[in-house]
């Protein structure tokens, strides 16, 4: 972990408590703030040829001749009457998406091949782009740079937080949704993208030709506070090789600097990979179960630490209503083991797990496949986890200035609690 603490990650978390803009890392299909997009997923790694086939009953009900005839009738009506040309490929994709949407489960989704490619980049925390976080106004569609990661092409080119992106390779930023716009920023490593911005205080627009490169998104940041209290913020539980590795490096660095107590901040963390959060809990908790899942047939899968590599120091975990899924697995395990104090507000309440299954044509389906339970057997779906100390968020600093964690009442309460231990 860098010795210099990256306040940008905390500024982003702070800004998310003030507004509900969409945020994307350039080149990622990562929704960082919508609770409807929180995830706790497993990735299917078996042979695609071994994917389950529809049952005879499903074929009789859903794929029968009557259904096919009706689809043909609807298609004919659309082709004949719709006032513009129809994209046949999009119609087919719509059928697949509609099939999954009929579950009425916000966490089950069909991805086109293009969407799945972007989704995989989001999950791994690695992508090829310029290394900036963008936000888009819901009303005006104006795209603004929230921050440029240190050492990335965006930062090296001179892009700054607050810059308004006018266009990318001639494509106007306000002409589409942010999720689509960022696909024009990412690209093959070594290729160039032309970015035009408007900067406050500058009368003319500024242009940059930026060479794309491989970016690893920092999902963990750390700092040593007073009295040897360590602080680690986790923005999402991405790929195990990224987030768990960054977490391990942060722990190691803080311990090397003499850390005696620790604050782990998962506020506004929408979740992530089940394997990743389990691996991180193995580095904190004593030997035993950290979480288990159970499917509709009663089959259980237990995630259990077999090591005695526990933290062995006072711990506080900060949570709020946007702490969801994998964040709740983390907080729930700490609470069940009575290994630390939870401070903040009740968590989101997502206690189900999805499996992500790629299809042979490059598309994919993400479908809810199990419930998860905390070590003590608690099912928190639509309930959330109550903190040990319930404290609404309050910030006493200037909200127009960079975030100062020493003016965050929940952080201050965590420090107060740890000083008493």
* Residues with catalytic function: 325, 350, 354
Contacts of 192 (CB under 8 A, 6+ apart): 209, 210, 211, 212
- First-to-last C-alpha distance (Å) of the chain: 27
Helical spans, DSSP H, in 63-185: 65-81, 88-101, 113-124, 153-157, 178-181
Helix (H, G, I), strand (E, B) or coil at 228: helix
Neighbours of 158 (CB within 10 A): 13
3-state secondary structure of 280: helix
Q: Buried (b) or exposed (e) across 264-300, using 16+ Cβ within 10 A?
A: bbbbbbbbbbbbbbbbbbbbbbeeebbbbbbeeeeee
Give whole-number Cα distances, 354 to 33, 44, 347, 381, in Å: 19, 10, 19, 13
Q: Which of 253, 250, 213, 256 is nearest to 232 (CA)?
A: 250
Alpha-carbon distance 421 to 419, whole Å?
A: 6
């Amino acid at each position: 972990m860098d010795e210099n603490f990256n306040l940008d990650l905390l500024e982003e978390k702070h800004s998310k408590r003030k507004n509900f803009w969409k945020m994307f890392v350039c080149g990622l299909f990562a929704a960082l703030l919508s609770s409807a997009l929180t995830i706790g997923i497993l990735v299917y790694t078996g042979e695609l040829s071994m994917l389950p086939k529809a049952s005879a009953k499903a074929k009789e009900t859903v794929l029968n001749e009557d259904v096919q005839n009706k689809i043909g009738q609807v298609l004919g009506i659309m082709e004949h009457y719709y006032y513009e040309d129809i994209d046949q490929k999009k119609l087919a994709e719509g059928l697949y998406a509609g099939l999954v949407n009929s579950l009425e489960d916000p966490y089950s989704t069909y991805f086109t091949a293009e969407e799945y490619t972007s989704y995989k980049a989001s999950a791994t925390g690695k992508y090829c782009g310029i290394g900036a976080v963008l936000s888009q106004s819901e009303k005006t569609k104006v795209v603004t740079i929230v921050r440029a990661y240190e050492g990335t092409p965006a930062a090296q080119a001179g892009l700054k937080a607050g810059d308004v992106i006018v266009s990318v390779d001639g494509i106007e930023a306000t002409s589409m949704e942010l999720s689509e716009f960022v696909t024009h920023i990412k690209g093959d490593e070594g290729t160039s993208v032309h970015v035009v911005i408007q900067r406050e205080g500058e009368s003319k627009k500024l242009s940059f030709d930026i060479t794309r490169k491989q970016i690893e998104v920092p999902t963990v940041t750390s700092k040593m506070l007073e009295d040897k209290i360590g602080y680690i913020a986790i923005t999402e539980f991405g790929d195990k090789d990224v987030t768990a590795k960054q977490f391990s490096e942060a722990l190691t660095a803080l311990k090397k600097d003499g850390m005696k107590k620790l604050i782990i901040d998962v506020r506004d963390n929408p979740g992530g990979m089940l394997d990743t959060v389990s691996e991180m809990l193995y580095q904190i908790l004593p030997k035993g179960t950290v979480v288990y899942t159970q499917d509709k047939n009663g089959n259980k899968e237990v995630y259990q630490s077999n090591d005695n590599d526990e933290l062995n120091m006072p711990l506080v975990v900060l949570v709020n209503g946007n702490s969801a899924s994998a964040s709740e697995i983390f907080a729930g395990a700490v609470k069940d083991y009575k290994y630390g104090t939870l401070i903040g507000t009740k968590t989101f309440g997502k206690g189900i797990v999805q499996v992500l299954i790629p299809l042979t044509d490059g598309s994919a389906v993400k479908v809810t496949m199990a419930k998860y339970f905390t070590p003590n057997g608690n099912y928190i779906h639509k309930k959330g986890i109550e903190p040990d100390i319930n404290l609404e968020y309050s910030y006493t600093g200037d909200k127009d200035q960079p975030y100062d964690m020493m003016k965050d009442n929940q952080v201050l309460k965590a420090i107060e609690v740890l000083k008493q231990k």
